[in-house]
Structure 1
Amino acid sequence: MTAGRVGTSRETVTLPILSVRHRTTYRYRRPVAFGEHRIMFRPRDSYDQRLIAATLDITPEPASQRWLFDVFGNCVAVTTFDIRAEVLTFDCGITLDHTPEHAPVFPLAPHATHYPFGYGAEDMPDLARSIERQWPDPRHEVDTWARSFLPPQGRIPTQELLAAMTRSVRANFTYLARAEKGVQDPLTTLRTKLGSCRDFAVLMMEGVRALGMAARFVSGYLYNPRNDRARHVGGGSTHAWLQVYLPGAGWVEFDPTNGIVGNRDLIRVAVARDPAQAVPLHGSFFGLSSDDLGMRVDVNVVELPTDGTTAHSLQGLPPPLAR
């Protein structure tokens, strides 16, 4: 029995097996030396996404490579290099079985069906840091934006509140692919109504936290059938969204870039309290700043035949973990 398809009150539909190809290439004006690189390309095994196979090919070949779980349970490859090169390439291939939730209605605990609600004493020690605001908001602009989704009086269904916030970003903000590293200040995102997927995720995280709910950042991939831009934006590269902790349902996905509630078309790789803790690839080189000719990221997510064949082997990666 495949977890997540039987014995749940959430309505699910099974997609074909998905294949992800993720290539990141760095180019330099002359051969440079490389420092340690940390790679977070491997998806998290769960009841709704099962990793079947994966490869990780790095050129030039690393001097060493090891694997670890970070503080959030994300799988991280750590590599070192002992040769210089003008090009550094990380090429990852992934095959996984993804079970999306169709029109999700999450089974919330009775006390959490309507906002405001509180978390239990047993959960608060683990959730407290995910409730804390991380960005300055001296004029309470993000707080005011978040509270604009609340009724003037009384309570509101929790799922209705979060869905409205998610879809408002999709409807009223403009997606802008940014090559710059890091995340835009959520106040800038709110004022300009422009940003990348990670910027929208951080804005909604801060809004949710302003309402006293726990939220965390998610990095991964977006599945966009037939590259339909009318359906989704943010494909062709890594993607970002957020999770909110709801009593009775656990961590629930929200993608404000595309107005998605639930895990439909979303492939999780890493979760973290802070976006800086979920960077897909982080490393350094030794040389002049003028040596850096830039980076290119290419991501392609496609369906595979469901005849049991797979596109990738397990070479270079530890075996999938049963959970």
Structure 2
Amino acid sequence: MLLNITHETRYEYSPPVETAQHMAHLRPLNLPWQRVMAHALEISPTPAQQSETSDVYGNTRAFFSLQGVHEELVVVARSTVVTTDPPQPRGSLPWEQVRERFRYHAGGDYDAAAEFVFASPYVPRHENFASYARPSFTAGTPVLMAARDLMDRIHTDFTYETDSTEVNTPALEALAQRKGVCQDFAHIMVASLRAMGLAARYVSGYLLTEPPPGQPRLVGSDASHAWVSVYVPDELGRGTWCDLDPTNNRAPGEDYVTLAIGRDYSDVSPMRGVIHGGANHTLHVGVTVEPVNETATEPAAPTSSEEVKP
């Protein structure tokens, strides 16, 4: 599938910002099942300095600084991506065996996935996550089967409710209230998997949403999305990261675009920065994802949604 993605972020400041430095994760990843054909980042006002680097997880991050006074910042990322369905493991080891791979043994082999077993800023260790996860992790259950059952339970037990949480709502609070948005569902699932001693990471990206039959695609109706990746090793010790989306209770396919991966949202937020001035600000975000054979009649319309809401 060939997809065009337009992601517009607009900040309005009062009083004006005097100087600013920003970091953005807005370039999709190149993966075996996903290839970036084109990408452009448009920034207004024009930055005094701009560069791109790769972070420790292989994500592309753009840095830019603004040295002049400005009342508004507009960042538009335009990407064209070719996607296919990611491969799915045919089988997996019992989850207890996978957990043992990450326990320290003198002289044991190091697995880089072990970094994703530990707590991170938005995903703390807590017994409540383990208690919620245990019904899915019965003795001898293959790790992927257990993870899929956990995904299904989160989808069933939790209510998707826009504006029920903020971008910095603790995962433990979202777990207690049994509602949230895709970021909350992803953090809860990551925390539950790690509570069982497994490696899990947070994935940010986009999802192509289909309109109801007979209705046209709504430009700007799509938004940033978030899901989970669980580490699934085989008998030979070769590991595969398998993506699961608890918000939609499915494995991502060619209609998903992976933007960045990390321990949690704090590693991969689409935009962050430090500003001097602008004590009050308003944020507008608009995302459009569409197949290239469908022509949008208007540009993406900014909305007041949070960055990670699907």
Whether TM exceeds 0.5 here: the answer is yes
SS of the residue corresponding to residue 35 of structure 1 reads strand
The alpha-carbon deviation at position 159 of structure 1 amounts to 2.3
In 2: Cα distance, 1:271 partner to 1:116 partner: 25
| Structure 2 counterpart of 1:245, from 228, 231, 240 | 231
Counterpart in the other structure of 2:218: none
Aligned pairs for 1:52-201 within 5 A: 52-101=37-86, 105-108=88-91, 112-118=92-98, 119=101, 121-124=108-111, 126-134=112-120, 135-136=123-124, 140-151=127-138, 154-178=139-163, 182-201=167-186
SS of the residue corresponding to residue 198 of structure 2 reads coil
TM-score of the superposed pair, with normalisation by structure 2: 0.81
Contact 1:183-1:275 within 8 A present in 2 as well: no
Contact 1:166-1:261 within 8 A present in 2 as well: no
In 2: Cα distance, 1:61 partner to 1:227 partner: 40
SS of the residue corresponding to residue 156 of structure 1 reads coil
SS of the residue corresponding to residue 97 of structure 2 reads coil
Q: 1:116 to 1:72 in 2, by over 3 A?
A: same
Identity of aligned residues (%): 28
Contact 1:58-1:89 within 8 A present in 2 as well: yes
In 1: Cα distance, 2:175 partner to 2:78 partner: 36
Q: 1:216 to 1:180 in 2, by over 3 A?
A: same
Contact 1:137-1:187 within 8 A present in 2 as well: no
Task: Give the count of matched residue pairs.
Answer: 274
In 1: Cα distance, 2:140 partner to 2:252 partner: 23
Deviations 1:71-91 (A, max 9, x none): 111101100112111110001
| Structure 1 counterpart of 2:265, from 256, 275, 284 | 275
Counterpart in the other structure of 1:261: 251
**CA RMSD of the aligned region, Å?**
2.3
Contact 1:28-1:86 within 8 A present in 2 as well: yes
Runs ≥4 residues deviating over 6 A: none
In 2: Cα distance, 1:159 partner to 1:76 partner: 31
What one-letter code is carried by the residue in structure 1 that aligns with 2:287?
V
Counterpart in the other structure of 2:275: 285
TM-score of the superposed pair, with normalisation by structure 1: 0.78
Counterpart in the other structure of 1:296: 284
Contact 2:25-2:60 within 8 A present in 1 as well: yes
Deviations 1:105-133 (A, max 9, x none): 4134xxx4332223374343x22221113
In 2: Cα distance, 1:47 partner to 1:136 partner: 31
User: Structure 2: where are the runs of 5+ without partners?
Assistant: 103-107, 214-220, 295-310
SS of the residue corresponding to residue 56 of structure 1 reads strand
SS of the residue corresponding to residue 87 of structure 1 reads strand
In 1: Cα distance, 2:272 partner to 2:254 partner: 28
Deviations 1:222-248 (A, max 9, x none): 1112278xxxxxx63221111111114
